[in-house]
Amino acid sequence: MSESTGLPDEVVRAVCRHMDDDHADAALRIVQVLGGAPGADRVQTVGVDTTSISFLAHTGEATTPVTVAFSEPAADRTAVRLAVMALSERAQRDG
């Protein structure tokens, strides 16, 4: 378990890989709508902890770190999944 994330390292790696491989469009929408980077044209998921998910937002040649908070803490992989789904739904609704 990583002290910095509060989640096992393998969970962090799996979530990042899954977001980038299977949910790149949702991640981009989260960053654009909820992360304050409306001009981002692509993102890379770089971290997740019990309170948030972090990305690198790419806008042309510029790269900006973006962290989006969960509405409530996520103590395990299932809770992280639900928290990210809630962010995705919110970004879809608010965008």
In a domain, 2, yes or no: no
User: Is residue 95 assigned to a domain?
Assistant: no
CB atoms within 10 A of CB 93: 8
pLDDT digits (tens, 9 = 90+) for 48-92: 999 999 999 999 999 999 999 999 999 999 999 999 999 999 999
Cβ atoms within 10 Å, residue 69: 13
CATH number (domain holding residue 23): 3.20.180.10
Count of structural domains, the chain: 1
Q: Express each pLDDT in 25-57 by its tens digit.
A: 999 999 999 999 999 999 999 999 999 999 999
The answer as to whether 94 is a domain residue is no
Domain that holds residue 65: 9-89
Q: By the 8 A CB rule, do 19 and 37 touch?
A: no
Distance, in Å, from the CA atom of 93 to the CA atom of 91, rounded to the nearest integer, reads 5
* Structural domain contains residue 22: yes
> Cβ contacts of residue 22 below 8 Å, gap of 6+?
none
Instruction: Please report whether residue 76 resides in a domain.
Output: yes
Does residue 3 lie in a domain region? no
